[in-house]
Amino acid sequence: MRVRIGRSDARGSVRVPGSKSYTIRAALCAGMAVGESVIAGALRSDDTAAVLDCLSRLGVGVREVDGTLRVRGGVLQCAGDPLWCRESGATFRFMAALAATMPGVTRLRCAPSLARRPMQPLLDALRRLGAAADFDVLTGTLVVRGERRRFGHAVIRGDVSSQFLSALLLTGPRYDDGLRIELSSPLVSERYAAMTIECMRRFGAEVVVSDGGYVYEAGGPYRPTRYVVEGDWSGAAAFLALGAACGEVAAVELHPDSLQADAAMIDLLERMGAVVECEAGQVTVCRSSLVACDARLSEAIDLLPVVCALGAVARGTTVLTGIARARDKESDRVAAMAEGLAHLGVPVDVTENEMQIRGGMAHGGEVSSAGDHRIAMAFGVIGAAVGDVVIDGAECVSKTYPSFWQTLSDLGVEVMPDE
Protein backbone atom coordinates (compact mmCIF):
# COMPACT_ATOMS: atom_id res chain seq x y z
CA MET A 1 0.00 0.00 0.00
CA ARG A 2 1.27 3.44 -0.98
CA VAL A 3 -0.11 6.73 0.28
CA ARG A 4 0.63 10.28 -0.85
CA ILE A 5 0.57 12.96 1.84
CA GLY A 6 -0.16 16.53 0.78
CA ARG A 7 0.83 19.70 2.56
CA SER A 8 -1.93 20.37 5.06
CA ASP A 9 -3.19 22.43 7.95
CA ALA A 10 -4.00 19.91 10.65
CA ARG A 11 -6.56 20.83 13.28
CA GLY A 12 -8.74 18.93 15.69
CA SER A 13 -8.60 16.40 18.47
CA VAL A 14 -7.78 12.73 18.49
CA ARG A 15 -8.62 10.11 21.09
CA VAL A 16 -5.50 8.01 21.13
CA PRO A 17 -5.86 4.25 21.46
CA GLY A 18 -4.85 2.38 24.59
CA SER A 19 -1.20 1.77 25.35
CA LYS A 20 0.20 -1.26 23.55
CA SER A 21 2.68 -1.89 26.35
CA TYR A 22 0.05 -1.81 29.09
CA THR A 23 -2.44 -3.85 27.05
CA ILE A 24 0.05 -6.68 26.55
CA ARG A 25 1.14 -6.64 30.18
CA ALA A 26 -2.42 -6.59 31.48
CA ALA A 27 -3.38 -9.47 29.18
CA LEU A 28 -0.50 -11.59 30.53
CA CYS A 29 -1.40 -10.86 34.16
CA ALA A 30 -5.07 -11.60 33.50
CA GLY A 31 -4.17 -14.82 31.73
CA MET A 32 -2.28 -16.04 34.79
CA ALA A 33 -4.93 -14.88 37.29
CA VAL A 34 -7.47 -17.45 38.51
CA GLY A 35 -10.84 -16.05 37.45
CA GLU A 36 -12.12 -13.41 35.04
CA SER A 37 -10.54 -10.01 34.60
CA VAL A 38 -11.99 -7.09 32.66
CA ILE A 39 -9.61 -4.95 30.59
CA ALA A 40 -11.12 -1.66 29.43
CA GLY A 41 -9.53 0.57 26.81
CA ALA A 42 -7.35 -2.20 25.39
CA LEU A 43 -5.55 -1.49 22.13
CA ARG A 44 -6.79 -3.40 19.07
CA SER A 45 -3.84 -4.00 16.78
CA ASP A 46 -1.68 -6.74 15.29
CA ASP A 47 0.60 -6.78 18.33
CA THR A 48 -2.19 -7.11 20.89
CA ALA A 49 -4.00 -9.67 18.74
CA ALA A 50 -0.79 -11.72 18.87
CA VAL A 51 -0.71 -11.94 22.67
CA LEU A 52 -4.44 -12.64 22.94
CA ASP A 53 -4.23 -15.40 20.33
CA CYS A 54 -1.29 -16.98 22.14
CA LEU A 55 -3.07 -16.89 25.49
CA SER A 56 -6.16 -18.44 23.93
CA ARG A 57 -4.04 -21.30 22.63
CA LEU A 58 -2.83 -21.93 26.19
CA GLY A 59 -6.38 -22.33 27.48
CA VAL A 60 -7.16 -18.73 28.51
CA GLY A 61 -10.68 -17.56 27.73
CA VAL A 62 -10.68 -14.30 25.77
CA ARG A 63 -13.85 -12.53 24.62
CA GLU A 64 -14.94 -8.99 23.89
CA VAL A 65 -18.11 -7.67 25.52
CA ASP A 66 -19.38 -4.11 25.06
CA GLY A 67 -15.98 -2.87 23.95
CA THR A 68 -14.03 -4.41 26.83
CA LEU A 69 -11.91 -7.54 27.00
CA ARG A 70 -12.91 -10.28 29.38
CA VAL A 71 -10.04 -12.61 30.12
CA ARG A 72 -10.57 -15.80 32.15
CA GLY A 73 -7.23 -17.18 33.25
CA GLY A 74 -5.91 -19.80 35.60
CA VAL A 75 -4.79 -23.24 34.51
CA LEU A 76 -2.46 -23.01 31.52
CA GLN A 77 -1.59 -25.91 29.24
CA CYS A 78 0.97 -26.24 26.48
CA ALA A 79 -0.48 -25.89 22.99
CA GLY A 80 0.01 -28.61 20.40
CA ASP A 81 0.83 -26.25 17.55
CA PRO A 82 3.35 -23.38 17.67
CA LEU A 83 2.23 -20.08 19.17
CA TRP A 84 2.34 -17.43 16.42
CA CYS A 85 3.75 -14.22 17.94
CA ARG A 86 3.78 -12.29 14.63
CA GLU A 87 6.06 -9.23 14.86
CA SER A 88 5.38 -8.49 18.53
CA GLY A 89 8.65 -8.47 20.45
CA ALA A 90 6.91 -8.13 23.80
CA THR A 91 4.61 -11.06 23.03
CA PHE A 92 7.48 -13.30 21.90
CA ARG A 93 9.67 -12.54 24.89
CA PHE A 94 6.91 -12.56 27.51
CA MET A 95 5.40 -15.80 26.21
CA ALA A 96 8.85 -17.43 26.22
CA ALA A 97 9.24 -16.68 29.93
CA LEU A 98 5.71 -17.94 30.62
CA ALA A 99 6.40 -21.14 28.68
CA ALA A 100 9.41 -21.79 30.92
CA THR A 101 7.02 -22.15 33.90
CA MET A 102 4.68 -24.60 32.14
CA PRO A 103 5.48 -28.34 32.31
CA GLY A 104 5.99 -29.68 28.80
CA VAL A 105 7.11 -28.35 25.46
CA THR A 106 5.92 -25.05 23.98
CA ARG A 107 6.86 -23.91 20.49
CA LEU A 108 6.77 -20.26 19.56
CA ARG A 109 7.16 -18.74 16.12
CA CYS A 110 7.81 -15.14 15.09
CA ALA A 111 8.13 -13.11 11.90
CA PRO A 112 11.60 -12.82 10.27
CA SER A 113 11.92 -9.15 11.27
CA LEU A 114 11.55 -10.17 14.91
CA ALA A 115 13.80 -13.22 14.70
CA ARG A 116 16.84 -11.02 14.01
CA ARG A 117 16.27 -8.98 17.19
CA PRO A 118 18.22 -9.83 20.38
CA MET A 119 16.97 -12.82 22.38
CA GLN A 120 20.04 -14.54 23.83
CA PRO A 121 20.11 -12.85 27.28
CA LEU A 122 16.57 -14.03 27.97
CA LEU A 123 17.31 -17.56 26.76
CA ASP A 124 20.33 -17.72 29.07
CA ALA A 125 18.18 -16.59 32.02
CA LEU A 126 15.47 -19.16 31.26
CA ARG A 127 18.09 -21.91 31.26
CA ARG A 128 19.33 -20.74 34.66
CA LEU A 129 15.74 -21.11 35.85
CA GLY A 130 15.74 -24.74 34.78
CA ALA A 131 14.07 -24.54 31.38
CA ALA A 132 15.48 -25.80 28.09
CA ALA A 133 15.29 -23.14 25.38
CA ASP A 134 16.49 -23.50 21.79
CA PHE A 135 16.01 -20.77 19.18
CA ASP A 136 16.37 -21.30 15.43
CA VAL A 137 16.89 -17.79 14.06
CA LEU A 138 16.52 -18.90 10.44
CA THR A 139 12.98 -20.21 10.96
CA GLY A 140 12.05 -17.89 13.83
CA THR A 141 11.13 -20.90 15.97
CA LEU A 142 11.75 -21.10 19.71
CA VAL A 143 11.27 -24.39 21.55
CA VAL A 144 10.91 -24.16 25.34
CA ARG A 145 10.71 -27.17 27.64
CA GLY A 146 9.42 -25.78 30.91
CA GLU A 147 8.66 -26.94 34.41
CA ARG A 148 7.07 -25.55 37.56
CA ARG A 149 9.57 -24.59 40.25
CA ARG A 150 8.85 -23.36 43.73
CA PHE A 151 11.63 -20.76 43.67
CA GLY A 152 13.54 -19.04 40.88
CA HIS A 153 16.80 -17.10 40.79
CA ALA A 154 18.19 -15.63 37.59
CA VAL A 155 20.87 -13.16 36.52
CA ILE A 156 20.25 -11.21 33.33
CA ARG A 157 21.80 -8.39 31.33
CA GLY A 158 19.97 -5.09 31.58
CA ASP A 159 21.73 -3.17 28.80
CA VAL A 160 20.10 -4.86 25.79
CA SER A 161 16.35 -4.62 26.40
CA SER A 162 14.18 -4.04 29.45
CA GLN A 163 11.71 -6.54 27.97
CA PHE A 164 13.93 -9.38 29.21
CA LEU A 165 13.53 -8.21 32.81
CA SER A 166 9.81 -7.56 32.33
CA ALA A 167 9.32 -11.04 30.87
CA LEU A 168 10.81 -12.66 33.97
CA LEU A 169 9.06 -10.36 36.43
CA LEU A 170 5.65 -11.08 34.92
CA THR A 171 6.08 -14.78 35.71
CA GLY A 172 6.95 -14.11 39.37
CA PRO A 173 3.61 -15.34 40.76
CA ARG A 174 4.20 -18.68 38.99
CA TYR A 175 6.94 -19.40 41.57
CA ASP A 176 5.26 -20.39 44.84
CA ASP A 177 8.21 -19.36 47.00
CA GLY A 178 9.17 -16.30 45.00
CA LEU A 179 11.51 -15.15 42.23
CA ARG A 180 14.72 -13.14 42.46
CA ILE A 181 16.27 -11.42 39.44
CA GLU A 182 19.68 -9.76 39.45
CA LEU A 183 21.05 -7.51 36.72
CA SER A 184 24.59 -8.02 35.46
CA SER A 185 24.63 -4.61 33.72
CA PRO A 186 22.72 -1.32 34.10
CA LEU A 187 19.09 -1.38 32.97
CA VAL A 188 18.01 0.53 29.87
CA SER A 189 14.46 1.88 29.51
CA GLU A 190 13.81 1.68 33.25
CA ARG A 191 10.34 3.15 32.85
CA TYR A 192 9.16 0.09 30.94
CA ALA A 193 10.20 -2.09 33.90
CA ALA A 194 8.35 0.33 36.18
CA MET A 195 5.26 -0.09 33.98
CA THR A 196 5.52 -3.86 34.40
CA ILE A 197 5.74 -3.56 38.17
CA GLU A 198 2.80 -1.13 38.27
CA CYS A 199 0.65 -3.47 36.16
CA MET A 200 1.55 -6.47 38.32
CA ARG A 201 0.57 -4.52 41.42
CA ARG A 202 -2.87 -3.85 39.97
CA PHE A 203 -3.30 -7.63 39.71
CA GLY A 204 -2.19 -8.16 43.32
CA ALA A 205 1.50 -8.98 42.85
CA GLU A 206 4.13 -6.87 44.62
CA VAL A 207 7.73 -6.60 43.41
CA VAL A 208 10.45 -5.31 45.74
CA VAL A 209 13.17 -3.27 44.05
CA SER A 210 16.54 -2.93 45.73
CA ASP A 211 20.17 -2.33 44.84
CA GLY A 212 20.57 -6.07 44.57
CA GLY A 213 17.84 -6.54 41.99
CA TYR A 214 14.14 -7.32 41.77
CA VAL A 215 12.30 -9.74 44.04
CA TYR A 216 8.79 -11.16 43.86
CA GLU A 217 8.18 -12.58 47.31
CA ALA A 218 5.82 -15.50 47.82
CA GLY A 219 2.32 -14.06 47.65
CA GLY A 220 0.17 -16.42 45.66
CA PRO A 221 -1.10 -16.12 42.09
CA TYR A 222 -2.37 -13.01 40.36
CA ARG A 223 -5.86 -11.90 41.36
CA PRO A 224 -8.46 -11.08 38.70
CA THR A 225 -9.34 -7.40 38.51
CA ARG A 226 -10.82 -4.64 36.40
CA TYR A 227 -8.00 -2.85 34.61
CA VAL A 228 -8.26 0.36 32.58
CA VAL A 229 -5.55 0.83 29.93
CA GLU A 230 -4.31 4.40 29.68
CA GLY A 231 -3.76 6.19 26.38
CA ASP A 232 -0.70 5.33 24.32
CA TRP A 233 2.04 7.97 24.29
CA SER A 234 3.91 6.15 21.53
CA GLY A 235 0.87 6.33 19.24
CA ALA A 236 0.14 9.91 20.26
CA ALA A 237 3.67 11.17 19.52
CA ALA A 238 3.09 11.49 15.77
CA PHE A 239 -0.09 13.53 16.26
CA LEU A 240 1.58 15.83 18.79
CA ALA A 241 4.42 16.36 16.31
CA LEU A 242 1.80 17.03 13.62
CA GLY A 243 0.33 19.82 15.74
CA ALA A 244 3.77 21.37 16.25
CA ALA A 245 4.56 21.30 12.53
CA CYS A 246 1.21 21.87 10.85
CA GLY A 247 -1.52 23.40 13.00
CA GLU A 248 -3.16 22.58 16.33
CA VAL A 249 -3.83 19.06 17.56
CA ALA A 250 -5.23 17.93 20.90
CA ALA A 251 -4.69 14.35 22.07
CA VAL A 252 -7.11 13.14 24.74
CA GLU A 253 -6.75 10.19 27.11
CA LEU A 254 -3.14 11.16 27.75
CA HIS A 255 -1.59 11.61 31.19
CA PRO A 256 1.56 13.80 31.34
CA ASP A 257 2.68 12.02 34.54
CA SER A 258 2.48 8.58 32.91
CA LEU A 259 5.23 6.03 33.46
CA GLN A 260 5.33 5.49 29.69
CA ALA A 261 8.77 6.48 28.45
CA ASP A 262 7.39 8.32 25.43
CA ALA A 263 5.73 10.90 27.68
CA ALA A 264 9.16 12.54 27.23
CA MET A 265 7.62 13.89 24.02
CA ILE A 266 6.33 16.89 25.97
CA ASP A 267 9.81 18.00 26.98
CA LEU A 268 11.17 17.45 23.47
CA LEU A 269 8.40 19.52 21.89
CA GLU A 270 8.88 22.38 24.32
CA ARG A 271 12.64 22.38 23.76
CA MET A 272 12.03 22.66 20.01
CA GLY A 273 9.81 25.70 20.53
CA ALA A 274 6.34 24.14 20.22
CA VAL A 275 3.46 25.53 22.25
CA VAL A 276 2.28 22.74 24.57
CA GLU A 277 -0.69 22.89 26.93
CA CYS A 278 -1.41 20.06 29.38
CA GLU A 279 -4.75 19.65 31.06
CA ALA A 280 -6.37 16.74 32.84
CA GLY A 281 -6.22 13.88 30.37
CA GLN A 282 -5.44 16.08 27.34
CA VAL A 283 -2.32 17.48 25.66
CA THR A 284 -2.62 20.20 23.01
CA VAL A 285 0.24 21.22 20.71
CA CYS A 286 0.13 24.30 18.46
CA ARG A 287 2.25 25.18 15.45
CA SER A 288 5.21 27.43 16.01
CA SER A 289 8.60 28.14 14.50
CA LEU A 290 10.49 24.99 15.43
CA VAL A 291 14.18 25.07 16.28
CA ALA A 292 16.73 22.28 16.50
CA CYS A 293 17.67 20.67 19.79
CA ASP A 294 20.06 18.12 21.24
CA ALA A 295 18.35 15.09 22.72
CA ARG A 296 19.46 11.80 24.24
CA LEU A 297 16.89 9.14 23.36
CA SER A 298 18.26 6.05 25.08
CA GLU A 299 15.37 5.99 27.58
CA ALA A 300 12.67 6.77 24.98
CA ILE A 301 14.10 5.07 21.91
CA ASP A 302 10.74 4.63 20.16
CA LEU A 303 10.57 8.42 19.73
CA LEU A 304 13.52 8.43 17.33
CA PRO A 305 11.54 8.43 14.04
CA VAL A 306 9.12 11.19 15.03
CA VAL A 307 11.90 13.36 16.51
CA CYS A 308 13.78 12.90 13.24
CA ALA A 309 10.66 14.20 11.48
CA LEU A 310 10.59 17.30 13.68
CA GLY A 311 14.31 17.82 13.14
CA ALA A 312 13.74 17.73 9.38
CA VAL A 313 11.34 20.69 9.49
CA ALA A 314 13.07 22.68 12.26
CA ARG A 315 15.69 25.40 11.82
CA GLY A 316 19.22 24.29 12.60
CA THR A 317 20.88 20.95 13.28
CA THR A 318 19.17 18.50 15.60
CA VAL A 319 21.60 16.11 17.32
CA LEU A 320 20.20 12.81 18.60
CA THR A 321 22.36 10.56 20.79
CA GLY A 322 21.81 7.27 22.57
CA ILE A 323 20.26 5.83 19.43
CA ALA A 324 22.13 2.53 18.94
CA ARG A 325 19.26 0.34 20.18
CA ALA A 326 16.97 1.79 17.50
CA ARG A 327 18.84 -0.41 15.02
CA ASP A 328 17.26 -3.51 16.60
CA LYS A 329 13.60 -2.60 16.27
CA GLU A 330 11.11 -3.63 13.57
CA SER A 331 13.67 -2.17 11.19
CA ASP A 332 17.05 -0.54 11.55
CA ARG A 333 15.33 2.73 12.34
CA VAL A 334 18.52 4.76 12.18
CA ALA A 335 19.27 3.58 8.64
CA ALA A 336 15.62 3.75 7.52
CA MET A 337 15.15 7.34 8.69
CA ALA A 338 18.53 8.47 7.33
CA GLU A 339 17.77 6.99 3.90
CA GLY A 340 14.23 8.38 3.77
CA LEU A 341 15.28 11.85 4.91
CA ALA A 342 17.98 11.91 2.24
CA HIS A 343 15.30 11.23 -0.40
CA LEU A 344 13.44 14.27 0.95
CA GLY A 345 16.45 16.55 0.71
CA VAL A 346 17.39 16.49 4.39
CA PRO A 347 21.14 16.12 5.09
CA VAL A 348 21.83 13.50 7.77
CA ASP A 349 25.13 12.47 9.33
CA VAL A 350 25.11 9.15 11.19
CA THR A 351 27.52 7.37 13.51
CA GLU A 352 26.88 4.27 15.62
CA ASN A 353 25.18 6.18 18.42
CA GLU A 354 24.40 9.63 16.98
CA MET A 355 22.39 11.31 14.24
CA GLN A 356 22.74 14.91 13.08
CA ILE A 357 19.78 16.21 11.08
CA ARG A 358 20.06 19.54 9.29
CA GLY A 359 16.54 20.82 9.05
CA GLY A 360 14.65 23.42 7.03
CA MET A 361 15.34 21.99 3.56
CA ALA A 362 12.85 19.12 3.30
CA HIS A 363 10.80 18.67 0.15
CA GLY A 364 8.52 16.04 -1.36
CA GLY A 365 9.68 12.66 -2.57
CA GLU A 366 9.18 8.93 -2.24
CA VAL A 367 10.24 7.03 0.87
CA SER A 368 9.93 3.49 2.23
CA SER A 369 8.38 2.61 5.57
CA ALA A 370 10.86 -0.30 5.82
CA GLY A 371 7.84 -2.25 7.05
CA ASP A 372 8.00 -0.28 10.32
CA HIS A 373 4.94 1.43 11.77
CA ARG A 374 6.92 4.18 13.53
CA ILE A 375 8.80 5.02 10.33
CA ALA A 376 5.58 5.28 8.33
CA MET A 377 3.97 7.57 10.92
CA ALA A 378 7.01 9.85 11.06
CA PHE A 379 7.08 10.32 7.29
CA GLY A 380 3.36 11.06 7.44
CA VAL A 381 4.16 14.04 9.68
CA ILE A 382 6.84 15.31 7.29
CA GLY A 383 4.45 14.86 4.37
CA ALA A 384 1.85 17.08 6.02
CA ALA A 385 4.51 19.72 6.70
CA VAL A 386 6.18 19.87 3.25
CA GLY A 387 3.74 18.12 0.90
CA ASP A 388 3.96 15.53 -1.86
CA VAL A 389 5.54 12.74 0.17
CA VAL A 390 4.77 9.21 -1.03
CA ILE A 391 5.13 6.45 1.58
CA ASP A 392 5.56 2.91 0.31
CA GLY A 393 4.48 0.09 2.64
CA ALA A 394 2.08 2.34 4.55
CA GLU A 395 -0.08 -0.60 5.67
CA CYS A 396 2.48 -1.48 8.37
CA VAL A 397 0.77 0.95 10.78
CA SER A 398 -1.66 -1.91 11.54
CA LYS A 399 0.97 -3.26 13.93
CA THR A 400 -0.03 -0.72 16.58
CA TYR A 401 -2.43 1.85 15.03
CA PRO A 402 -4.64 0.38 12.28
CA SER A 403 -6.68 3.59 11.89
CA PHE A 404 -3.66 5.93 11.72
CA TRP A 405 -4.15 7.15 8.13
CA GLN A 406 -7.88 7.67 8.64
CA THR A 407 -7.22 9.62 11.84
CA LEU A 408 -4.66 11.74 10.00
CA SER A 409 -7.28 12.47 7.34
CA ASP A 410 -9.88 13.34 9.97
CA LEU A 411 -7.49 16.00 11.26
CA GLY A 412 -7.46 17.64 7.82
CA VAL A 413 -4.33 16.06 6.37
CA GLU A 414 -4.49 15.21 2.67
CA VAL A 415 -4.04 11.42 2.55
CA MET A 416 -4.46 9.84 -0.89
CA PRO A 417 -3.81 6.34 -2.21
CA ASP A 418 -0.94 6.38 -4.68
CA GLU A 419 -1.10 3.84 -7.50
Active site residues: 302
Which three-class secondary structure state does DSSP give residue 64? strand
Burial label, 220 (beta-carbon count in 10 A; 0-12, 13-18, 19+): exposed
> Strand runs (DSSP E) across 178-234, as ranges?
179-183, 207-210, 213-216, 226-228
Helix segments in 203-282, DSSP class H: 233-246, 265-271
Alpha carbons within 13 angstroms on the beta-carbon side of residue 44 total 9
Would strands 104-109 and 141-146 be described as parallel, antiparallel, or unpaired? antiparallel
Would strands 414-417 and 2-6 be described as parallel, antiparallel, or unpaired? antiparallel
User: Could you tell me the strand order of the sheet in which 61-65 lies?
Assistant: 61-65, 68-73, 35-40, 226-228
Would strands 365-368 and 389-392 be described as parallel, antiparallel, or unpaired? parallel
Query: Concatenated DSSP letters for 97-156?
Result: HHHTTSSEEEEEE--HHHHTS--HHHHHHHHHTT-EEEEETTTTEEEEEE---S-EEEEE
Entry field: residues in the chain: 419
Would strands 61-65 and 68-73 be described as parallel, antiparallel, or unpaired? antiparallel
Asked if 291 and 318 touch (Cβ cutoff 8 Å), the reply is no
Nearest to 4 by CA among 384, 412, 410: 384
| Phi/psi of residue 109, nearest 5 degrees | -125, 150
Nearest to 172 by CA among 149, 190, 155: 149
Q: Three-state SS across 11-31?
A: EEEEECCECHHHHHHHHHHHH
